[in-house]
């Protein structure tokens, strides 16, 4: 697990992006816990961390594609999934483990661990 | 589980086929079990739609989306995973695994084949030419519709229900069409000779009977026996072929369709089949009602009910070709029958009796009593005096029906359930009743009856169909506003907790943020997670994730000093593009999010709100100061108007224009609000104009005698729009929806106008320049990502007008 930020760094209900080992990921602080997914929307590269998050999903700010935060699955559209990464909160630090095949298209989806 | 991530959840029910049957299985399983993961695999590039209403596309050119069985949110809300545009290529029943076309593997505990059917395309020579079409999917409809606009003469092979719908669709495009039928009468499976003849007359189409097409040439059909028919567009609709390939490959017994037992189980363990691909007791059902019965039974069996049994259905069909009402139920012939026929009026009513019991009915031209007769046939009631029964059926209206009279055949909904939805569960509109009971959501042919029954149960007229603020809340803007007022709610979270399902879908959060702000005269608890990114950083997001910055430039008027500052900022921050916007402002494009505070600081100009649902710009012409033709001070009034409205949020963006004469250089007549000088100090106030996808000339709300009055009327209208439009409803939709008369009444009425202006004053008092957040961000990381330096933290505060503004 790689510590990426403090729990105070992401405003409640929002997402922020960060570079982790060369991969741009988006981290979300939601009422049901923390989630990490790839930052770039598989559709047109939209910045997912800037999307509106609700009910364990995020809506891309560019073209409103929606993805499940826990599985990365597309919701309500035919596009591909977004890769997800494991998150753990330890002593107020948010830590991320990149999906096993980070960098490949088929990074392992993994459920986020609630804070 | 496959690691490509497309597969939501653990093994559960996998439904193959995104048609009516597949949808019905998902719904039926979800009704019985809220938790089992369900995945629907749709080969077509769209979510399930109502194929029964396909001919609407042909007739009206409607998009397939209007036929969707459920909105996309339904699948999210019910946790049904969807794989759209994907095919199942293999089932490994021993491993309980399906393989998709891209190699992904999907495990299942229960697999439901709902693969439907294909159009039957017989091996007639010439059938594979481009001017020959099946009539099966939306793409076929589009192709036929296109061809019908240029074709000289069309032929439809097949005189069944679908063939007739196709023919009517082609005729509606102004193309001559002939129906070619192998049998001696139309719809021979549902109709007897008498009713078929009347139908043929009522349809008024050319029909050739007992013709077998031997060859399709590029411009004609050649029939066995030698005669020909000119046709450069050919539609083939002679039947369907169950799509049983996947079932066969899976190892299921297949005859005409995939063989299933009364629990809809195939011969392979853990695999079910439902709908047009399935063969039950030797019959392949192709109508909606039996398919939905099957789906319910299959779902029960999948969820562990070992006694669930489908015992077949009485076929009933309703013709959906325009103005010819037709219902055919069960058998067309029996050992007894009574017919009431009025050829002059085109009415044919028949009750078929077999061994003393009701066995079938045909109603053409007058379908009163269809529900009662269907019940009679379905139950196999004894009929002592068929003549009296047939006569009585026409007399009984919905009011007289018994509670167990089935109204919606597709979903098996009885009158009593509809009444109960109104009287016991508080539904107020047909749409709510339909959502609650599912009545009218199948083929839709009973919708009018549902409306009647809702009115009956509600004791009179029914309310207008509501426009929900969001499907996740199932409440209208007015309903939600009332709750906000009554409970004194101050934030989106409070509204979400108090209303609807108690959670946000996300898509409606910005709408709720506007609502909670507007209802509270801009005084509310601001939650940025409910705002679109543009409103979180006060700039407009671009396709590469950078932002564009548009400083306010009132009336499009600027100064050398401002221009110099803008130029300096553009250089300082390496702005890649500087452009004049359509609203006469300067746009700095390509600014990085973390640079936004510094860009504003350097500009020192207020926010142009070019990113928000807010008052954007007031475009002006040069007016009387310099123009040879100017009749009024358009620049001065434009600046005044923009300052009066600056910073106000609105249901959608508002763009205004002020033109100094009728030459209209500011294009004020196609703005949300436009003022046009008409001479002698008089101004025309126009509202509801558009120059987007639809061009709409703004309506003249009033012509007034002074500049002050023009400003007052325009402002009163703006507040009316702010308070009453649905979120994302532009004025050009709002104005026709409300009607100009009603708008005039509210805006120009003395008391109503004054009240609107007072509420406008309160809202305006709360306006601050959002760009001031550059110095006081709502969160240290308002503008930065985690690898950028954050700003200092500050305490969150209630935003809103100062107390004194509230009196």
pLDDT tens by residue, B733-744? 899 888 999 999
For the segment B764-789, the average pLDDT, to the nearest whole number, is: 91
For the segment B99-118, the average pLDDT, to the nearest whole number, is: 94
Please give the interface size between A and B, counted as residue pairs whose CB atoms are below 8 Å apart.
127
H/E stretch holding B317: strand B316-318
How many Å apart are CA B721 and CA B738, to the nearest integer?
Answer: 10
For the segment B751-770, the average pLDDT, to the nearest whole number, is: 94
The B residues from 123 to 142 touching A (CB cutoff 8 Å) are: none
The reported pLDDT for the residue numbered A110 is: 34
CB contact under 8 Å between A4 and B786, yes or no, is: yes
Residue position matching structure tokens 């509501």: B466
Please name the residue of chain B whose CA is at the shortest distance from the CA of residue A43.
B543
Contacts of B785 in chain A (CB under 8 A): 16-18, 49
Q: Is the pLDDT of residue B713 over 70?
A: yes
Candidate from B181-185, B236-240, B266-270, B436-440 with smallest mean pLDDT: B436-440
CB contact under 8 Å between A106 and B503, yes or no, is: no
Pick the residue with more confidence: B175 or A36? A36
Contacts of A94 (CB under 8 A, 6+ apart): A3, A4, A5, A6, A7, A9, A10, A27, A34, A87, A88
Average pLDDT, chain A: 84
ipTM for the whole predicted complex goes beyond 0.90: no
Instruction: Judge whether B543 is closer than 8 Å to chain A, CB to CB.
Output: yes
CB contact under 8 Å between A76 and B82, yes or no, is: yes
Please name the residue of chain B whose CA is at the shortest distance from the CA of residue A37.
B5
Q: Give the highest mean pLDDT range of B213-217, B388-392, B504-508.
A: B213-217
CB contact under 8 Å between A12 and B529, yes or no, is: yes
Q: Is the pLDDT of residue B553 over 50?
A: yes
Contacts of A60 in chain B (CB under 8 A): none
Mutate to test the interface with A, among B39, B506, B535, B792 (most CBs of A within 10 A): B506
Average pLDDT, chain B: 88
Query: Considering only CA atoms, which of B521, B594, B602 is closest in space to residue B564?
Result: B602
The reported pLDDT for the residue numbered B701 is: 95
Q: Within its chain, how far is the Cα of A29 from the centroid?
A: 10
| pLDDT interval class at A104 (50, 70, 90) | very low
CB B42 within 8 A of CB B83: yes
For the segment B384-403, the average pLDDT, to the nearest whole number, is: 81
Mutate to test the interface with B, among A7, A11, A63 (most CBs of B within 10 A): A11
Q: Give the highest mean pLDDT range of B47-61, B132-146, B305-319.
A: B132-146
Contacts of A107 in chain B (CB under 8 A): 3, 5
CB B125 within 8 A of CB B222: no
CB B289 within 8 A of CB B309: no
CB contact under 8 Å between B5 and A83, yes or no, is: yes
| pLDDT interval class at A114 (50, 70, 90) | very low
The helix/strand/coil state of B112 is strand
CB B706 within 8 A of CB B712: no
Contacts of A74 in chain B (CB under 8 A): 6
- Nearest C-alpha of chain A: how many angstroms from B779? 7
Contacts of A96 (CB under 8 A, 6+ apart): A1, A2, A4, A20, A25, A27, A36, A85, A86, A87
H/E stretch holding B58: helix B55-60
B783 conformational bin, left if phi > 0, alpha if psi -120 to 50, beta if neither: alpha
For the segment A26-34, the average pLDDT, to the nearest whole number, is: 93
- Nearest C-alpha of chain A: how many angstroms from B99? 16
H/E stretch holding B497: helix B492-498
Smallest Cβ distance to B541: which of A50, A54, A107? Answer: A50
For helices B560-572 and B596-603, what crossing angle results, to 10°? 150
For the segment B624-653, the average pLDDT, to the nearest whole number, is: 94
CB contact under 8 Å between A101 and B543, yes or no, is: no
Q: Is the pLDDT of residue A113 over 50?
A: no
The reported pLDDT for the residue numbered A102 is: 43
pLDDT tens column, A59-87: 999 988 889 999 999 886 767 899 999 99
Mutate to test the interface with A, among B2, B4, B5, B793 (most CBs of A within 10 A): B5
| pLDDT interval class at A101 (50, 70, 90) | very low
- Nearest C-alpha of chain A: how many angstroms from B83? 7
Pick the residue with more confidence: B429 or B338? B338
Q: Give the highest mean pLDDT range of A27-36, A94-103, B396-405.
A: A27-36
| pLDDT interval class at B799 (50, 70, 90) | low
CB contact under 8 Å between A11 and B781, yes or no, is: yes
Candidate from B189-193, B303-307, B318-322 with smallest mean pLDDT: B318-322
Between the alpha carbon of residue B689 and those of residues B653, B686, B692, the distances in Å are: 13, 8, 10
pLDDT tens column, B587-634: 999 999 999 999 999 999 999 999 999 999 999 999 998 898 889 999
CB B658 within 8 A of CB B674: yes
The reported pLDDT for the residue numbered A107 is: 36
Q: Is the pLDDT of residue B109 over 70?
A: yes
Candidate from A26-35, B495-504, B665-674, B692-701 with smallest mean pLDDT: B495-504
CB contact under 8 Å between B81 and A9, yes or no, is: no
Q: Is the pLDDT of residue A112 over 70?
A: no
| pLDDT interval class at B277 (50, 70, 90) | very high
Instruction: Judge whether B68 is closer than 8 Å to chain A, CB to CB.
Output: no
| pLDDT interval class at B761 (50, 70, 90) | very high
């Amino acid at each position: 697990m790689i510590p990426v930020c403090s729990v105070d760094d992401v405003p409640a209900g929002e997402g922020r992006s960060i570079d982790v080992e060369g991969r741009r990921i988006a981290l979300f602080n939601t009422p049901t816990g923390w989630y990490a997914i790839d930052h770039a929307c598989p559709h047109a590269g939209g910045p997912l961390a800037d999307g509106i998050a609700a009910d364990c999903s995020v809506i891309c700010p560019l073209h409103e594609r929606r993805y499940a935060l826990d599985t990365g699955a597309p919701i309500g559209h035919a596009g591909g999934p977004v890769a997800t990464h494991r998150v753990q909160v330890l002593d107020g630090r948010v830590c991320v483990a990149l999906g096993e095949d980070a960098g490949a298209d088929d990074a392992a989806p993994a459920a986020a661990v609630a804070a | 589980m496959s690691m490509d991530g497309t597969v939501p959840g653990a093994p559960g029910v996998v439904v193959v086929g995104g048609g009516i049957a597949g949808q019905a299985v998902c719904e039926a399983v979800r009704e019985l079990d809220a938790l089992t993961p369900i995945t629907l695999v749709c080969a077509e590039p769209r979510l399930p739609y109502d194929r029964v209403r396909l001919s609407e596309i042909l007739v009206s050119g409607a998009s397939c989306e209007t036929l969707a069985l459920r909105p996309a949110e339904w699948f999210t809300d019910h946790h049904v995973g969807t794989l759209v545009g994907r095919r199942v290529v293999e089932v490994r029943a021993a491993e309980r695994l399906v393989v998709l076309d891209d190699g992904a593997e999907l495990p299942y505990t229960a697999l439901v084949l709902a693969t439907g059917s294909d159009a039957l395309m017989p091996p007639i020579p010439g059938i594979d030419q481009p001017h020959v079409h099946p009539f099966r999917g939306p793409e076929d409809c589009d192709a036929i519709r296109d061809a019908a606009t240029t074709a000289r003469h069309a032929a439809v092979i097949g005189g069944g229900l679908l063939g007739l719908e196709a023919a009517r669709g082609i005729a509606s495009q102004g193309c001559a069409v002939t129906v070619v039928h192998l049998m001696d009468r139309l719809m021979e499976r549902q109709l007897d000779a008498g009713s078929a003849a009347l139908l043929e007359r009522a349809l008024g189409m050319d029909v050739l009977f007992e013709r077998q097409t031997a060859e399709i040439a590029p411009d004609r059909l050649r029939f066995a026996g030698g005669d020909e028919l000119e046709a450069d567009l050919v539609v083939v609709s002679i039947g369907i072929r169950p799509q049983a390939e996947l079932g066969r490959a899976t190892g299921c017994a297949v005859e005409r369709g995939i063989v299933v037992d009364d629990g809809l189980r195939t011969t392979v363990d853990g695999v079910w089949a439902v709908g047009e691909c399935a063969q039950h007791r030797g019959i392949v059902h192709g109508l909606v009602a039996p398919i939905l019965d099957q789906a319910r039974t299959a779902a029960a069996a999948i969820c562990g009910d070992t006694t669930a049994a489908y015992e077949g259905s009485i076929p009933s069909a309703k013709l959906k070709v325009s103005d010819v009402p037709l219902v055919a139920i069960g058998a067309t012939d029996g050992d007894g029958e009574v017919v009431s026929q009025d050829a002059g009026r085109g009415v044919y009513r028949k009750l078929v009796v077999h061994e003393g019991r009701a066995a079938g009915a045909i109603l053409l031209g007058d379908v009163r009593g269809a529900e009662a007769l269907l019940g009679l046939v379905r139950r196999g009631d004894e009929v002592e005096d068929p003549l009296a029964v047939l006569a009585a059926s026409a007399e009984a209206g919905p009011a007289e029906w018994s509670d167990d009279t089935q109204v919606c055949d597709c979903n098996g909904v009885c009158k009593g359930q509809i009444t109960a939805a109104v009287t016991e569960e508080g539904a107020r509109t047909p749409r709510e009743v339909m959502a609650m009971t599912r009545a009218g959501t199948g083929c839709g042919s009973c919708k009018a009856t549902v409306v009647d029954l809702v009115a009956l149960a509600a004791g009179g007229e029914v309310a207008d169909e509501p426009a929900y603020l969001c499907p996740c809340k199932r409440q209208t803007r007015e309903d939600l506003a009332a709750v906000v007022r009554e409970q004194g709610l101050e934030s989106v979270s409070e509204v979400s907790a108090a209303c609807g399902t108690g959670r946000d879908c996300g898509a409606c959060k910005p709408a709720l943020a506007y609502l909670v702000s507007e209802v509270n005269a801009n005084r509310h608890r601001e939650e940025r997670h409910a705002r679109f990114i543009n409103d979180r950083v006060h700039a407009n997001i671009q396709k590469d994730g950078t932002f564009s910055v548009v400083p306010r430039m009132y009336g499009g008027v600027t100064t050398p000093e401002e221009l110099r500052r803008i130029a300096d900022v553009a250089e300082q921050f390496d702005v890649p593009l500087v452009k004049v916007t359509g609203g006469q402002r300067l746009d700095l494009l390509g600014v990085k999010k973390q640079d936004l505070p510094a860009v504003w600081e350097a500009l020192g100009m207020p926010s142009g709100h070019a990113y928000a649902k807010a008052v954007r710009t007031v475009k002006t012409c040069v007016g009387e100061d310099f123009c040879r033709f100017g009749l009024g001070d358009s620049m001065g009034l434009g600046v005044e108007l923009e300052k009066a409205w600056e910073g106000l949020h609105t249901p959608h963006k508002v763009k205004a224009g002020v033109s100094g004469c009728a030459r209209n250089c500011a294009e004020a007549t196609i703005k949300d609000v436009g003022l046009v000088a008409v001479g002698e100090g008089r101004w025309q106030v126009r509202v509801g104009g558009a120059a987007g996808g639809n061009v709409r000339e703004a309506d003249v709300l009033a012509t007034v005698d002074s500049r002050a009055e023009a400003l007052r009327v325009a402002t009163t209208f703006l507040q009316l729009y702010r308070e009453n439009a649905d979120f994302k409803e532009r004025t050009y939709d709002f104005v026709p929806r409300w009607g100009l008369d009603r708008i005039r009444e509210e805006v120009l009425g003395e008391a109503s106008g004054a009240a609107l202006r007072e509420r406008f004053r309160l809202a305006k008092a709360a306006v601050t320049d959002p760009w001031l957040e550059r110095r006081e961000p709502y969160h240290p990381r308002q503008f930065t990502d985690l690898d950028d330096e954050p700003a200092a933290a500050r305490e969150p505060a209630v935003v809103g007008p100062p107390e004194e503004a509230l009196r």
